[in-house]
Amino acid sequence: MKGPFAATRCALILALVAVPAMALADALTGETQQQATNWPAITMFALFVGATLWITRWAAKRVRSASDFYTAGGGISGFQNGLAIAGDYMSAASFLGISAQIFASGYDGLIYSTGFLVGWPIILFLLAERLRNLGRYTFADVASFRFAQTPVRLFAAFSTLAVVVFYLIAQMVGAGQLIKLLFGLEYAWAVAIVGVLMTCYVLFGGMIATTWVQIVKAVLLLGCATFMAIAVLASFGFSPEAMFARAVEVKASVAAAGGASAADASAAGSAIMGPGGFIKDPISAISFGLALMLGTAGLPHILMRFFTVPDAKAARNSVLWATGWIGYFYVLTFVIGFGAITLVASNPAFLEADGSLRGGGNMAAIHLATALGGDLFLGFVSAVAFATILAVVAGLTLSGASAVAHDIYASVIRKGEGDSDSELKVSRRTVPVLAALAIALGIAFETQNVAYMVSLAFAIAASGNFPVLLMSVLWKGCTTRGIVVGGTLGIGTALVLTVLSPAIWQDVIGNEAAPFPYSSPTIISMPLAFIGIWLFSIMDRSGRAVMDRDGCEAQRFRAETGIGAAGAATH
């Protein structure tokens, strides 16, 4: 087994990569966006990287089969999986992005948080147990359970890779900018370091390492957010009302300093306590809400986590743990965002001359860390933010690799006849390819606003994977043709409408008035997928359709009882 040695070699390569990066950073400190090299942050981060590479080394010895690689042999407990799901789901975008949004516009940030949370109960009520009982490695196992393998697997692999690539680009660009800001490293180096580290975790440690990296990250992120929220509340005698009142006062005085009249300044202050500019029109609000809520139930890297537990009961319990941690985290970010208004917006040390945040809009939580705990805590929070990105990209990469190896190679090319070793080899070869792609795209998109990419990933998941999964497990009449045509219709519509929406049509391409005026395509693309699946299934008179419908009884029995489901590996 060359895994452990390879992991060590990987660490060495990483050290070599990091040294010139820091030297470069010193030469570039004059640049506006880049901060001075932050040694406490780099030390904290090095500790995290060391610990996770040690975990990877330990995990590498345990990855012997495709099952270990994809699902940690199904031996993760419900509690562990709940933390890992939370670690997989709470991205840096939620921590820095939502707290920044609350910092900027107050209440609106909470609207995001609720949307991100309410997908979890839906996953539990409709999918989690069925996923565990019907699938082994990928959600395509479930979607293709009673259907023709080749078309459904190809569809699922394509949609998985689409979600993974868009999500990865957003994470990579975010990571590069964050690291540039926090550690003073150059953007391209930062992206490369993320790519190399995630390759190490996934390539050598598979799902075992990925799971533990996500658990460590979840504990660090929850601990750090808890400390920040308690510190903020403590400075207001644990009275939220006092905190809100001070935030309103700060916002009003900022507006007054900007030249607003007394009445306008007071209105600007109290505006942060209610819904504001986030929702432009009701259609966008409902469409975006749909994408957030039901997209979660279609994210392949999240669905994959349900195959790491031994049975349906553990899958169910892991959703409860995950929902609890994620909900708790969003309540904390709300306090952190308001804390940032009171402590950061009123302190000139964190602001540029024009009153904007130093280092960019996403720095609210980072500056709050300095305000609360000085440079050392800033270093800790920076390292946690970086760890957060690493855990998310590792899960995404593993999910992409499993789609290529399990769905395309093993099921479509080898028709299920291949052995576990060759499948494992293909997934391992896919990992560096995905990482190289992620690094290249991360660098290519450096100057683009990639915020729409996360919502595009959610829209694809809500318009393709979610309808396909739901209909295939719940509707007897569903056929191969219905699944493939309906799912493709949903994803295609989501992609086309996103290109025609203001985020790309106006902001990226530079055209005037976007043909599709709403911020999310889901309100159109998701119903289209459901209608497509229904219509093309009922019209399907092929011989395959008869087999598809006949297969429902066996599928239902296994989904309901778990009898015949892939169990935990015993070793």
Partner 1 sequence: MTESQVVPTAMTGDPRYEALVRARARFAWLLTFAICAIYYGYVLLIAFRPDILARPIGDGVTTLGIPVGIGVILSGIALTALYVWRANRHYDPAMQALREEHGA
Cβ atoms of residues 225 and 219 within 8 Å = no
How far is the C-alpha of 14 from the C-alpha of 53, rounded, in Å?
A: 11
Helix, strand or coil, per DSSP, at residue 384: helix
**Closest approach of partner 1 to the CB of residue 97, in Å:** 17
What φ, ψ does residue 101 adopt, rounded to 5°?
A: -70, -40
Q: Which is nearer to partner 1, 22 or 283 (CB)?
A: 283
**Distances in whole angstroms, Cα of residue 117 to Cα of each of 122, 202, 239:** 10, 27, 25
Q: Which is nearer to partner 1, 122 or 376 (CB)?
A: 122
Q: Which is nearer to partner 1, 88 or 548 (CB)?
A: 548
**Closest approach of partner 1 to the CB of residue 405, in Å:** 16
Q: Is 547 exposed, middle or buried (0-12, 13-18, 19+ CB in 10 A)?
A: middle
**Closest approach of partner 1 to the CB of residue 220, in Å:** 22
Q: Which is nearer to partner 1, 118 or 443 (CB)?
A: 118
Which residues does residue 351 pair with via DSSP β-bridges, in sequence order? 357
Q: Which is nearer to partner 1, 117 or 528 (CB)?
A: 117
Cβ atoms of residues 478 and 471 within 8 Å = yes
CA atoms within 13 A on the CB side of 123: 36
**Closest approach of partner 1 to the CB of residue 274, in Å:** 3
Q: Which is nearer to partner 1, 238 or 557 (CB)?
A: 557
Q: Which is nearer to partner 1, 341 or 441 (CB)?
A: 341
Q: Which is nearer to partner 1, 319 or 383 (CB)?
A: 319
How far is the C-alpha of 291 from the C-alpha of 95, rounded, in Å?
A: 20
Helix, strand or coil, per DSSP, at residue 357: strand
**Closest approach of partner 1 to the CB of residue 470, in Å:** 11
Cβ atoms of residues 471 and 533 within 8 Å = yes
Helix, strand or coil, per DSSP, at residue 560: helix
**Closest approach of partner 1 to the CB of residue 519, in Å:** 13
How far is the C-alpha of 421 from the C-alpha of 426, rounded, in Å?
A: 9
- The number of helix segments (H) and strand segments (E) in the chain equals 25, 0
User: Helices 451-460 & 149-183, crossing angle to 10 degrees?
Assistant: 160
End-to-end CA distance of the chain: 17
Task: Name residue 224's amino acid.
Answer: C
**Closest approach of partner 1 to the CB of residue 326, in Å:** 9
The two structure tokens encoding residue 301: 């890297």
Q: Which is nearer to partner 1, 56 or 91 (CB)?
A: 91
**Closest approach of partner 1 to the CB of residue 273, in Å:** 4
Q: Which is nearer to partner 1, 4 or 327 (CB)?
A: 327
Positive or negative, the CA dihedral 132, 136, 138, 142 is negative
**Closest approach of partner 1 to the CB of residue 259, in Å:** 23
- The widest CA-to-CA distance across the chain, in whole angstroms, is 75
**Closest approach of partner 1 to the CB of residue 208, in Å:** 24
Residue 524: partners with Cβ closer than 8 Å, 6 or more residues away: 287, 493, 497
Helix, strand or coil, per DSSP, at residue 250: helix
Q: Which is nearer to partner 1, 338 or 452 (CB)?
A: 338
Helix, strand or coil, per DSSP, at residue 223: helix
**Closest approach of partner 1 to the CB of residue 461, in Å:** 17
Question: Which residues in this chain contact partner 1 in the complex, by CB under 8 A?
Answer: 107, 110-111, 113-115, 117-118, 120-122, 124-126, 129, 134-136, 141, 144-146, 149, 240-241, 244-245, 248, 270, 273-276, 279, 281-282, 285-286, 289, 293, 313, 316-317, 319-320, 323-324, 327, 330-331, 334, 416, 553-554, 556-558, 560-561, 563-564
How far is the C-alpha of 319 from the C-alpha of 118, rounded, in Å?
A: 12
How far is the C-alpha of 301 from the C-alpha of 386, rounded, in Å?
A: 19
Q: Which is nearer to partner 1, 508 or 547 (CB)?
A: 547
Q: Which is nearer to partner 1, 377 or 518 (CB)?
A: 518
What φ, ψ does residue 357 adopt, rounded to 5°?
A: -70, 135
Q: What is the dihedral of CA 288, 292, 293, 297, to 10 degrees?
A: 140
**Closest approach of partner 1 to the CB of residue 133, in Å:** 11
How far is the C-alpha of 140 from the C-alpha of 159, rounded, in Å?
A: 10
**Closest approach of partner 1 to the CB of residue 466, in Å:** 13
